[in-house]
Amino acid sequence: MWFKNKHLMTYAQRKQQLRLQAGAFLLCLLIPLSILLYFGFAQLKKNQLNEYQEQARSLISQIDRQMFKRRLLSSSLPVEAFDYYQSVYNPLTEETLQIPSVLSHLDPARPTATRPIQGLVGYFQFDAQGRFNSPIWPEPLSAEDLTKPTSEQQKTSVELQQRYDRAKFIYQTLAKSTALQTKLATGLSKENGLYQIWFDVPGYFIFYRLPKVGAERKLQGYLVKRDPYLLSLVGEYLSQSQFDTPVLLTLDADRSNSSNKLYNAMTAQPEQLYFLRPHAQPNVHRLAEADIPAELRAQPVYSSALRWPFNNYTLHLTTHTLPMSSTLFYSALFALLLVLTILGACYGFYRLSVRQLALAEQRMNFVSSVSHELKTPLTAIRMYAEMLRAGTVVSADAQQDYYGFIHSESERLSRLIDNILLLTRLNQEDHTGLPQVKPDYAPVAMLADIIRSKTSTLLEKQDFHLNMVIEAPLSEELEVLVDQDAFAQVVINIVENTVKFFRAEGISDPARRQLDITFRRAAQRDDKLILEIRDYGPGVSQQQCDKLFELFYRGGDELTRTTQGTGIGLALVAQLVKAQQGQITAHQMTPGLALRLTLHTRHIDHTMSEPVNRK
């Protein structure tokens, strides 16, 4: 079909070929465009994820650095501060005074030499013999001391009882640390001056160091609750992050594949910690695993292990499906507009091409029909003229018949040529040479007379009966805006068209050989008049009604058509009615067809001045 000779193709074949070519062209545009848009949006989504990953990487790096700084800052605590009393020399009195340590307060949030430590339980110290003391209690504690009854002094002082209970709790918690007991048993050897951490007590971190106090090496440190300590570190930076969506930060501790020996003493796998930062809210809070929405784990963003000694802790940052960024939104909008533009343009070109094909088909039909319309009468005229010229027709009556036939066929040719020329002038944009169509108001009765005079001969010749109805009082009170010559041409074309198709269908019912012409006022419009011309012929479908006034339109195929005509009669009617500021529509009837002309009207002024008699 792609290489078929176009001159041998029918209109349907050309239209089908156009569809295939238009579809192939559209696919050639849309397929590369779709691939381009797919990878383009994928790259935009990747760039958006990269932005989140950069923010997450910066966030986790800040948290990691802060954890390391906390160890550095807490290492600045003086070694003497871990005893309840500190010796302070007064140069004025030259005396050494014993004052409580800066760490002896009970409030964990009270500032010390460092910033407040969230989750702090208390400070502690062990000597080389394993004796425990805390800055909050003035005396050392041992396992035997815990079994002793409360002293009278403690009973009378609430603060002393609180200090004792705190020191006792610290001692009992530290006693659960296998790593600490092992360290005390093997001896307090010199280590890195920074605080180290033991993780083997569930829910707690044990920070410790091994400084030298005087001539003796001691184990000093502090005990913190894991959850509030980590929440303070994570929440401080997570609340300052600039994420556009709620984010979930998971702190996962894994001792199964650890190279950090400090984890080996853990008695149980630490549970995961979840920290949620809601969208557009600075508050960060911890969540239980059962309370975590599933969508917050839909999009992994970034994961990273912390530095030693937290290197068995991994931070995972997740969020729900990334929202459409403004760049992505405007890109999608532009892509949609681009696709719609391409589809609209392709559809527009397709419709234009279809119209051009239809117009070419109509022109071919017009040429064929005009050739037929011209050839038939010219052949007959030539034949009769040759017979008359040769003198083969002797009878005077026969000669008159031949002369009459030549005259009637000549008139038909003249009308055909006049219609073609008139339609051409009407369709010219500048209307050069256009006949003077000048509408003016005329009485309804005059229009009825024009219709009778112009159609009576044709109707009587074809045995048609004309039924004309003028609804009262239209003939007396209204004038219609028409050009009388153009109106006559409209009526003649419609009646000729009606008779032609009636005769072609071979309808034998005499009751249908009639034409109804009705003048009536338009419904709800006092300034409009409807002229309906209704026949009882073969009629047309409703789909054809919408095409009757198109130029060159004729139903069927020109090669098999039995009716005469060029397809310009009703198109000329529509143009003439429009030139008279009117409208024409076609309506399917059973049987037949009705053409309704809507014309402008005006009321006739019957007011007349009476002469005055003077005496």
CA distances from 372 to 34, 386, 558, 562 (A): 53, 21, 10, 11
Three-state DSSP class for residue 129 = coil
Contact predicate 289/272, CB 8 Å: yes
Residue 121 resides in a domain = yes
> Where a domain ends, among 402, 417, 433?
433
Q: Do residue 253 and residue 297 come from a single domain?
A: yes
**Alpha carbons 236 and 242: distance in angstroms, whole number:** 13
Residues 379 and 423 in one domain: yes
Tell me, yes or no, whether 450 lies in a domain: yes
Last residue of one domain, picked from the residues 256, 291, 319? 319
* Residue 456 lies inside a defined structural domain of this protein: yes
Instruction: Quote the number of domains for the chain.
Output: 3
Residue 547: which CATH number? Answer: 3.30.565.10
Residues sharing a CB contact under 8 Å with residue 522, sequence separation 6 or more, in sequence order = 528, 529, 530, 598
What CA–CA distance (Å, rounded) separates 554 from 497? Answer: 12
pLDDT at 564: 61
Q: What is the mean pLDDT of each run of 10 residues along the chain (615 residues)?
A: 56 84 89 89 85 84 78 72 79 77 72 66 89 88 76 70 89 90 85 77 88 86 88 78 80 61 49 72 75 82 80 82 80 89 89 84 72 76 85 83 84 77 63 63 90 88 89 75 89 88 80 90 83 89 81 57 65 87 90 91 64 42
DSSP 519-569: EEEPTT-TTEEEEEEEE-SS---HHHHTTTTSTT--SS-TTT--S---S-H
Asked if residue 42 belongs to a domain, the reply is no
| Residue 339 counted as domain residue | yes
- For residues 146 and 111, state if they share a domain: yes
What is the sign of the dihedral through the CA atoms of 382, 384, 387 and 389? negative
Same structural domain, 304 and 336:
no
Same domain flag for 195 and 308: yes
| Residue 429, in any domain of the structure | yes
How far apart (Å, rounded) are the C-alpha atoms in residues 470 and 451?
A: 13
The reply to whether 337 and 378 lie within a common domain is: yes
pLDDT of residue 582: 92
Same domain, 355 and 392: yes
Q: Are residues 272 and 304 in the same domain?
A: yes
Residue 52, in any domain of the structure: no
Residue 281 and residue 295 in one domain = yes
Q: Indicate the residue among 295, 319, 343 that finishes a domain.
A: 319
Query: Are 292 and 154 found together in one domain?
Result: yes
Question: Do residues 216 and 178 both lie within one domain?
Answer: yes
**179 and 112 co-located in one domain:** yes
Instruction: Note whether residue 134 is domain-resident.
Output: yes
- CA dist 443 and 470 (Å) reads 12
Q: How far apart are CA 225 and CA 581, in angstroms?
A: 94
Domain that holds residue 584: 436-603
For residue 49, what pLDDT is reported?
84
